[in-house]
Chains A and B, each alone.
Chain A
Amino acid sequence: MGGDRSRRKGRNSRPRKWHRRWHRFLGAVFALPLLWLVVSGLLLQHGERLGLTEKKVSSAWLLKRYNQIPEGIPSVTKAGRFTISGWDGEIFIDDRLLSESGTLIGAVALPGELVIATEEEIFIYDSQGLYLDRLGEESLPAVPLGKIGLDASNRVHLETVLGQHVFGEGFLEFETAPAEVPVVWSILEEGPRKRASLQQILVEDSEFTWSRVITDLHSGSLFGTVGRFLVDLTGVAVLVLTVLGIFLLVRRK
């Protein structure tokens, strides 16, 4: 009788040991990811009250992770009193980021107007930098544009695969440019020294809120497929821990 009880006890203690060992192991391994989920979940839950939905991310490092700050070296050109910079599709007039974008090819200043050319479009601003006009491929001789320049009569010239064209008044029409007219072409230069100030402008102009970052931290998306997998795994681990915990509790009784 006593032997039976001890045999049964021995049979029962083996799975309990196994349960306890796994419970301990999973608990230790997934403690940190679980803490991460709990903290980020709490922050999301109270994000509005904590101002996370309004507070903008000002970390250049983090914005780089979200491809909000380009790699490479900006291109810079002067047009009248303005310095025009292009950096991976973003365009800047002096220290102002424009809403318009494209690969900068050059810029020229007319009396009262600033003309910025990208490969696909031309943007026109007044002397205060106010956005006046946009010329898309429907208003251009051909795209991509190669160069933009001015002749002595302040007429805007464009060079494309179809040759050299000159705009009429108000950019309403264009015609093939006479070959003998000398043109001063806008030239882009590399501006590695401009990079820090442009990065600062992008950081200040960022619309990225902390709630977006925390959402991505919570779902694991901030770390791509690996992060999402880890969050899934943590979820499964919590399920297993719960089941093992219940088993251990029931067996003890």
Chain B
Amino acid sequence: MHHLLTIILLIAASGIAQAGTTVYQKPSDFIRSACGGQIPTSKYLTLTSSHQGKIRRLMGHEYRPSRVRYWTYRGKMVVILDELGKTQPITTGYVVSGGKIELVKMLIYRETIGAEVRRTSFTNQFKGAALGSSGKLSRRVNNIAGATLSTRAMMEMGRVAIYLDQVRPK
């Protein structure tokens, strides 16, 4: 009886689905593609409590870690941000130039559903978006049904990416 219970529980454990990680593009390859084929020396911005206060308004919470690395190339800023989708972080690369988003690419997706946000038809909606005075993106980004949390995460990161471009040392 005890053995039977063990076997049943082992089957149960194997039946529980695990989320998989999909790397669509390595962050280093994204930086290379945005910076003329090479990775420039990275820089970092230490987020002060004032920065974190603003970020809290943009994404609903402070950003972790408190140092954000970025790369610059011909006036553009490349930054790779992480934000929780439903339960797992979504790693996304942003290129910001002159306070506007130039390119968005989802690099690593770890959730089981919602990866549709990687499609260029979705990410192209961010192109040219700036940060409005109300803290919203100046361009409307249409939600993808079934990927609401991933869409929200990408919009929040987009707002933070533009803000980081505004406050980084130039």
Interface residues of A (CB under 8 A from B): 64-67, 99, 123-124, 130-139, 170, 172-173, 221-227
A138 and B13: CB pair below 8 A? no
A137 and B27: CB pair below 8 A? yes
Cβ-based interface call for B145 (8 A) = no
Q: In the bound complex, how far is the Cα of B28 from the Cα of A239, in angstroms? A: 59
Chain B interface helix/strand/loop/mixed: mixed
46-105 of chain B: CB within 8 A of chain A = 64-67, 69, 80
Name the A residues within 8 Å of B80 (CB-CB): 136, 138
A138 and B31: CB pair below 8 A? yes
The minimal Cβ–Cβ distance linking B138 to chain A, given in whole angstroms, is 29
B16 and A67: CB pair below 8 A? yes
B41 and A65: CB pair below 8 A? no
The minimal Cβ–Cβ distance linking B44 to chain A, given in whole angstroms, is 7
The minimal Cβ–Cβ distance linking A103 to chain B, given in whole angstroms, is 14
A224 and B42: CB pair below 8 A? no
Q: Report the stretch among B4-12, B118-126, B127-135, B160-168 that lies at the interface.
A: B4-12
B43 and A172: CB pair below 8 A? yes
- Most chain A CB neighbours (cut-off 10 Å) among B12, B28, B67, B80: B12
Query: B87: nearest residue on chain A (CB-CB)?
Result: A207
30 A-B pairs (CB sep. < 8 Å): A64-B13, A65-B9, A65-B12, A65-B13, A65-B16, A66-B13, A124-B67, A131-B64, A131-B65, A131-B66, A132-B66, A132-B67, A133-B66, A137-B26, A138-B30, A138-B42, A138-B80, A139-B69, A170-B44, A172-B42, A172-B44, A221-B12, A223-B11, A223-B12, A224-B12, A224-B13, A224-B16, A226-B8, A226-B11, A227-B15
Query: B93: nearest residue on chain A (CB-CB)?
Result: A138
